[in-house]
Structure 1
Amino acid sequence: MRQAELTTRERLLSAAERLLLESGYERVSIRAVCAAAEANPAAVHYHFGSKEALVAALLQSRLGPLWESSMDSLEGRDATVAECVSAVIDPLATLAEDPIGRLHIRLLSRLVLGRHDIGWTARWFSLDPFVDLLRRQHPDMPDHEARGRWMLAFDLILGQFGAPLAGDHLLSPRAVTTLHAFVTAGLSAPVESR
């Protein structure tokens, strides 16, 4: 598809993805994204508001469909905690095999682990559906406990898959299996009465 046929928003997303892959997050400026997309210098601010919001939109457009296909199959039934963890980890393991996928994981890790207030709009980028899935298996678990456990789980998962210092290091299949078991055990642990 020719550059002129793409919407400005999609041109910005594609340009940002290409530049981020080539140069990394720190070296890519909003101005460079606009220039690469052949867009008005204020286009990123108009369409997204900030560099972080642009990256969040990029991640939601690229990763959202992947997670939807994985997570939506768990909705409406009593999925086990292990199935929920697999639905999160397996797509990341697949993504990590590709340089663009690794870029997406590193960017997601940067935003999530940095506790940036993004205002995600895609369903599976919020903790709420994960909390609901966990509480279906553990109805005695308070909402705040389920939320806290998932936050720790995502910190661990994204720290393993998206560690910025890991470069192109891939988790071995054994490490992925261990991570899966560890996260499942943590989410499923009995609730301590305080």
Structure 2
Amino acid sequence: MATDVTRARLLDAAAHLLTTTSYEDLRLRAVCAQAGVNPAAVHYHFGSRESLVTALLQERLEPFWAAPLEELRHRPATVREIVDAILAPLALLRGDPVAASLLNVLGGFVLAHPDLPWTATWFRTRSWVAILTSATGVDAATARRRWRFAFAVLMTELSAPKPPSAAAVTALGDFLTAGLSAPNAPTPIH
């Protein structure tokens, strides 16, 4: 039980510090001091700064996308519905200063660390590829490539110093929808 409390305190401390500190400037000693725990606690519970931030982002942001993703996995969806499920939580999250800072961290962190072992469903390409394949009829390889491009564009927008305006989110939705639903390219003749 005490380890769960310490872990939660470390996550809370990291979330608080990331409202005023970038990931690059986040120091584990500062996280431990803010949490009031032994400096070795981060290494014990998470192993590294990357793992701490990965856990923080997954635990704090996943709930906003979990229900829409689960709904899309169990029914036919249009590409626009998929994009809307991705973008809808942004308005809610941008209204909360801690969540807004986590969105910004998420964007930059994912772009800088593309190969992290995400465990939360929302962060796993496979979940979205299956939904996109069903919605568009493209093969899994094409859906994966399109999803990676779309996710990179989304993360780039989230990592910008200022949150995207409502108009920018609408334009982003239109752009992602067009890209994800593009017709299959004809197979080249050799």
Q: TM-score, normalised by structure 1?
A: 0.89
Which residue of the partner structure matches residue 107 of structure 2?
Answer: 109
Letter in 2 for 1:36: Q
Deviation, 1:184, is 0.5
After TM superposition, give the deviation of residue 181 of structure 1 in Å.
Answer: 0.9
Offset at residue 6 of structure 1 (A): 6.4
Question: Equivalent of 1:70, from 64, 68, 71?
Answer: 68
Query: Unpaired runs of 5+ in structure 2?
Result: none
| Count of residue pairs brought into register by the alignment | 186
2:82 to 84, 95, 117: 84
- What code does the residue aligned with 1:186 have? G
d(CA) in 2 for partners of 1:37, 1:171:
32
- Mind listing any 5+ residue stretches in structure 1 that lack a counterpart? none
Post-superposition offset of 1:102: 1.8
Q: Residue 106 of structure 2 contacts residue 158 of structure 2 at CA under 8 Å; is this kept in 1? A: no
Matched, 1:133 2:126: no
The answer to which of 122-131 and 22-31 deviates more is 22-31
The 10-residue stretch of structure 1 (154-163 or 49-58) with the greater mean CA deviation from structure 2: 154-163
TM-score (norm 2): 0.90
Q: Is the 8 A contact 2:32 2:41 kept in 1?
A: yes
Q: Would the aligned equivalents of 1:102 and 1:162 in 2 still touch at CA under 8 Å?
A: no
Aligned to 1:40: 38
**Residues 108, 158 of structure 2: 8 Å contact kept:** no
Q: Secondary structure at the match of 1:40?
A: coil
- How far is the alpha carbon of 1:101 from its aligned partner? 2.0
Residue aligning to 1:172: 165
Computed over aligned residues only, the root mean square deviation of the Cα atoms, in angstroms, reads 1.8
Show the 5 A alignment for 1:39-58. Answer: 39-58=37-56
4+ residue segments displaced more than 6 Å: none
Distance 1:121 1:99 in 2: 25
Aligned to 1:148: 145
Q: Indicate the percent of aligned positions where both proteins have the same amino acid.
A: 46
Q: Report the Cα distance in structure 1 between the residues aligned to 2:118 and 2:129, rounded to whole angstroms.
A: 16
Q: What is aligned with 1:189? A: 182
- Which deviates more from structure 2 when the two are superposed, residues 86-95 or residues 113-122? 113-122
Deviates more, 1:118-127 or 1:90-99: 90-99
